[in-house]
Structure 1
Amino acid sequence: MRLKHLFLVIFYFVVYCRENESYKILGIFHTPSKSHYIAGGALMKALAEKGHEVTVISPFPQKKPLTNFRDVSVLGIEKLLDELFPNITDMESMGVAEKLNLTLTFGVIMANFTLTHKVMQNFLSTDNVAYDVIVMQIFMNEAFLGIGHHFKAPIVGFSSFGASKWTNDMVGTPTPMSYVPHIQLKYTDRMTFFQRVCNVLAYVGETLYMDWIYMPKQAKVYNEIFPDPKPTLDELLRNVSLVLVNSHFSLQFPRPYVPNMIEVGGLQINQTPKKLPTDLQQILNNASHGVIYFSLGSNVKPKNIPSEKQQEILNAFRKLKQIVLWKWDDPLVPGKPDNVFINSWYPQDDLLAHPNVKLFITHGGLLSITETIYHAVPVIGIPLFADQHLNMAKAESQGFAITILINDLSEATLSTAIAEMLNNDRYAKKIKLMSDRYRDQPLTPLETAVYWTEYVARHKGAPHLRSAGLDLSFFAYHSFDVFAVLFVAIYSVWRLMKFLFRRIVLRLWRKCSTNEKKNQ
């Protein structure tokens, strides 16, 4: 028995050591939007807490040092956003093609800025760490894949959005255009024929633009930064080990995924809410009629909302019994009512967890929509750009939201929407149902993301997850070559049968004619 116990101790020790193996992990998050970094940052902090040695390249260094966490601060990218998008709300009036062109142009500028930054150049030339895995934000930065080749480490892609062409092409995830709406369109998965036509055109247009114009520009940046010998950017693009997407089937429209695309939507959410600041806690606790939280995210600046719009919003809030907490960076126009509190920052996730929060007025960003579903707070959405229109279209189709376009935003439209939300309990019931579905997971999204990141490190890039579809041409992937051969074969058989039929019928006809003449 003692020998058996000894073997068991050795076995469990080996398993324990394997499960608690420490890895060296590099995270790259070049986004100018702090809201996009929040989710990726949560993953990197969780990896550090598990004992891994984590290095993170981003424009958002930690205010306080963290154990096992090293910041490499590449600053200045946020200024590029202000230069290219001086008024981000102007995108509301742009067409799909114009939005796509502007967004992808910005992506190339961002990638070049970050890779040529002196801090990044110094890091690439002096950092000699043998990283086990690189977690890289995937968003218009394909040239960054060269960093994986530079360090000879597998790439785990991380998308702050759901699945998109940027992520799908890396792992071979299929995108049926018949029921998966394009990210720039406001459609649901139940499209009319006309909407499906527009959806196909959007996908085809995006593919042509990205393959012929955008990707050559990313390849140029990649070729200028990383020395030879190196694989082509297209080869690196098709050898990403795994992609984590900020979505979940209970929140999005059901769609297919390959095994190495993993849903981790909401990994930034605190399963146990953190303690709120004392003054904020008192406001929430004392709000006898409830609280409305209003935030248009981190990319919308006060200058983007005209003073007349601000006044319309305040006039709508003035009529309310509820307290309004408005995330706003500058002083508002004169005449702020006493029930409106202004602050440049609120702990949104923890705030939404308070039972007195009755309504969330949001821009419709994916992080905000996920948090509001988790905490079961109905929403009024004012979408402005990117995937926000699609997110709000989903939210409305699922029955827990009302959308107001920025051009239609007024005292009347906002007041009507708020009254409908507060007085009709169907929205609260619907989002409670959504919340129950979303919370029903075997692991938390953060635990799932940590597990799969470690999985890639454990299995040296996990090449066994790679889809064979990545090695097929467009025609082979869609079996057009097979259909062409089958068509030719069927056509040939048909022509042969037709030929034989004619020959046989003709012979019989001639024979019958000959016999008939003989009989005469």
Structure 2
Amino acid sequence: MILRLVTLLDFVCLLLHTVYGAKILGVFAAPSISHQVVFQPIWKELSLRGHEVTVITPNPLNDKSLVNLTEIDVSFSYRIVTEANLQRSIEEARLYSDVVVAIYNIFINTAQEQLNHPKVQDLIKDKTKHFDLVIAEHFTPAMFAFSALYNCPLIGIISLGATLNGHDVMGNPSHPILNPDFSLPFQGQLGFFDRIYSVLYSIWYRYYYHYNFLPQQDKIAKKYFGENLPYIGDIEKNISILLTNENVLIHPVRPNVPAVVQMGNMHIQKAKPLPKDLQKELDGATHGVVYFSLGSNIKSVNLSEETREKIIGALSEIPYKVLWKWEDQSLPGQPKNVIIRRWFPQQDILGHPNTKVFVTQGGLQSIEESIFKGVPIVGIPFFADQPLNVKKMLDLGIAQAVDINTLTKENLKAAILEVAQNPKYRNKVRELAQLVTDVPMTGLEKAVWWSEYVIRHKGARHLRSPAIDLPIYQYFLLDVIGFLLAVVIVSIIIVYKIVKLSIRFVKSFFKITKQKIS
């Protein structure tokens, strides 16, 4: 009995040792606050649970109370985004592939400069450092090299849905018709030409990723981690778990292998009091408030003058107070009913009962906040998953959409008034809010549980899909199809030859018979 008790205690101690007090490295490279707000709760919670967490991020928490947390600030990365002028690239792009290339070029430059940062270099060169787990954002594969450097399990994480390569590397099915890439604005049943586009895009994307983007990431990784580093694509295939910020209500339903874990609503915070001046403005808006924000990557101040004047014209003619996230101190032609700020406490504004409409670019985090707070939407999508998100909200009956390329004062005004004045939108979004929150575990609880699961078991090899190791020709049955086609073709040729010989024989027979008779 005593022996059994000792064995049980040893097991408990071993379990506690392998989970609590683990050393975790988080690498969240994307210089975008909309990405970082998804990851911040994870590294904060892991540190609060007793883990020794080191994070490379452009948006450190700088919370002195988190004694187990070390943050390496790479906020200079935002300069890369500014210099790339992504918004202009998006406006000038004619194909979705052009937007993807523009975004991935930012990730290439980001990886280069962040790995060259002195504090990151100190981390790489410190031979005494050891980590039990690396959690890395999936958009910058060069950062996966930390997993190889420390010979520890790797968790991939995405603040959106997974890209095509993200699904591929986990062995997850990604049917181009049933599950088009989230960069494409396709939702529901695709038309014939949409199906053609989705198939061709999926082929192009994989070619670009594997023969352009990934080799560049590998070159960067070898430059800073050493030439002995395995190919970055091979390290990528060893991801134990892929955490995606998806919600089955917002994202299309799709099959997932066990190693792909959907989180959702990661950044939703408890309601906080509004600043007194804003509280007064919202409380006094008896007719209601329209909140206007294009997110962190699309800036209202960078809109063309023509587009800006159309928006101002629409906002000036609605009977509501407008809070507009405007990234400058002054707005030319600012209407009397419009209040501008460089930043607003978005979630708390959406939570105010007088907020009637959220005019948004359709970013995932904004969509989640709007549903969670019960505010219907007017969507003005620009790029990436935004068109798909807005289209989904249209299908769910909680939004109106306005195309930025055909935006006019009249159609924007009409969309805002329709959503604000028709109760069906608010009633529907409240129904969806109940569905979104009716879950057994929060996204954060999932992320933390699976992170500790991977630490406990030193990886999750047992969840690895066999599809990962299949050559592409086997995965798509090209060898089987080729063999069967060959059998059919050979059979047809043989039958053809037999029939031809039979006809020749019959003709010859009748000819000889005829000669004998005559």
Give the TM-score, by structure 1 length.
0.89
Determine helix, strand or coil for the equivalent of 1:332: coil
- What does the per-residue CA deviation read over 1:165-185, in whole Å, with 9 as the maximum and x for residues that have no partner? 242232121110112223332
Separation in 2, partners of 1:408, 1:491: 53
Partner residue, 1:289: 287
Q: In the alignment, what sits opposite 1:229?
A: 228
| Distance in 2, Cα, partners of 1:86 & 1:171 | 29
Q: Distance in 1 between matches of 2:11 and 2:351?
A: 40
Name the residue aligned to 2:260: 261
2:302 aligns to what? Answer: 304
Q: Residues of 1 paired with 2:355 and 2:10: CA distance?
A: 51
Determine the C-alpha separation between the residues in 1 that align with 2:75 and 2:109: 14
Q: C-alpha separation between the residues in 1 aligned to 2:127 and 2:77? A: 22
The offset of 1:260, in angstroms, is 0.7
Taking the TM superposition and a 5 Å limit, the aligned residue runs for 1:56-71 are 56-65=55-64, 66-71=66-71
What is the aligned partner in structure 2 of residue 162 from structure 1?
Answer: 161
Query: Unaligned stretches of 5+ in structure 1?
Result: none
Structure 2 distance, partners of 1:422, 1:397, is 18
Distance 1:480 1:90, change over 3 A: closer
Contact between 2:375 and 2:426, CA under 8 Å: does it hold in 1? yes
Contact 2:184/2:384, CA 8 A, preserved across alignment: no
Q: Residue 159 of structure 1 contacts residue 167 of structure 1 at CA under 8 Å; is this kept in 2?
A: no
CA distance in 1 between counterparts of 2:60 and 2:127 reads 18
Note the C-alpha offset of 1:501: 8.6
Counterpart of 2:124? 124
The Cα of 1:330 is off from its aligned counterpart by: 0.8
Counterpart code for 2:383: F
2:350 aligned residue: 352
Q: In terms of mean alpha carbon deviation, does 392-401 or 411-420 score higher?
A: 392-401
Determine helix, strand or coil for the equivalent of 2:405: helix
Q: How far has the Cα of 1:472 moved from its partner?
A: 0.9
In 2, Cα distance between equivalents of 1:11 and 1:293? 57
Match of 2:311? 313
Q: After superposition, give the CA deviation of every residue in 1:33-75 in whole Å (9 maximum; x if it has no partner).
A: 1121110112111212222221110112224322322111123
Q: Report if aligned partners of 2:164, 2:181 keep a CA contact under 8 Å in 1.
A: no
Matched residue, 1:402: 400
Is the aligned partner of 1:27 residue 2:30? no
Return the alpha-carbon distance in structure 2 between the equivalents of residues 347 and 6 of structure 1.
53
Secondary structure of 1:324's counterpart equals strand
Q: Which moved more, 1:493-502 or 1:73-82?
A: 493-502
Question: Which residue of the other structure, out of 413, 429, 453, is the alignment partner of 1:431?
Answer: 429
* C-alpha contact (below 8 Å) 1:251/1:438 kept by paired residues: no
Flag the 1:275–1:48 CA change in 2: closer, same or farther, 3 A.
Answer: farther
Q: 1:298 Cα deviation (Å)?
A: 1.2
* 1:32-431 correspondence to structure 2 within 5 Å: 32-65=31-64, 66-85=66-85, 87-88=87-88, 90-91=90-91, 93-126=93-126, 128-139=128-139, 141-270=140-269, 272-431=270-429
What is aligned with 1:473? Answer: 471
Cα gap change, 1:109 to 1:6, in 2 (>3 Å): closer
Residues 389 and 490 of structure 1, relative CA distance in 2, 3 Å threshold: same
- Whole-Å separation in 1 of the counterparts to 2:123 and 2:5: 47
Q: Which amino acid aligns with 1:45?
A: K
Contact kept? 1:180, 1:189, Cα under 8 Å:
no
Deviations along 1:296-318, whole A, 9 cap, x unmatched? 11123354123454343333223
Give the deviation of 1:347 after TM superposition. 2.1
Q: Matched residue of 1:360: which SS?
A: strand
The answer on whether the counterparts of 2:377 and 2:398 sit within 8 Å (CA) in structure 1 is yes
CA distance in 1 between counterparts of 2:283 and 2:128 reads: 52
Conservation of the 8 A alpha-carbon contact between 1:293 and 1:325: yes
Which has the higher mean CA deviation after the structures are superposed, 286-295 or 49-58? 286-295
CA distance in 1, matches of 2:29, 2:8: 45
Residues 216 and 86 from structure 1, CA distance in 2 versus in 1: closer, same or farther, beyond 3 angstroms? closer
Q: 2:326 touches 2:340 (CA, 8 Å); kept in 1?
A: yes
For residue 430 of structure 1, report the CA deviation from its aligned partner. 2.6
Q: Deviations over 1:428-459 (max 9, x none)?
A: 23322322222221101111111111111111
**Cα contact 1:89–1:385 (8 A) shared by 2:** no
Secondary structure of 1:179's partner? coil
Measured in 2, the distance between the counterparts of 1:416 and 1:98 equals 32
SS at match of 1:76: helix
CA distance, structure 1, for counterparts of residue 487 and residue 266 of structure 2:
53
Partner of 2:484: 486
Does structure 2 conserve the Cα–Cα contact (< 8 Å) formed by 1:264 and 1:449? yes
Q: 1:16 and 1:134 mapped to 2: Cα distance?
A: 19
Secondary structure, aligned partner of 1:62: coil
Deviation at 1:91, TM superposition (A): 2.7
Give the residue type in structure 1 aligned to 2:96. Answer: V
Normalising to structure 2: TM-score of the pair? 0.89
Bigger mean CA offset, 240-249 vs 175-184? 175-184
Task: Measure how far apart 1:338 and its partner are.
Answer: 4.0
The CA distance in 2 between the partners of 1:39 and 1:92, in whole Å, is 29
Q: Deviations over 1:175-227 (max 9, x none)?
A: 10112223332221311111101111111122222222222222221222221
Moved more, 20-29 or 230-239: 20-29
Measure the CA separation in 1 of the matches of 2:454 and 2:428: 38
Deviation at 1:251, TM superposition (A): 1.1
Tell me the amino acid that sits aligned with residue 41 of structure 1. Answer: Q
SS in structure 2 opposite 1:22? coil
Unaligned runs of 5+ residues in structure 2 are none
Q: Residue 343 of structure 1: CA displacement?
A: 1.9
Offset of 1:256 from its aligned partner? 1.9
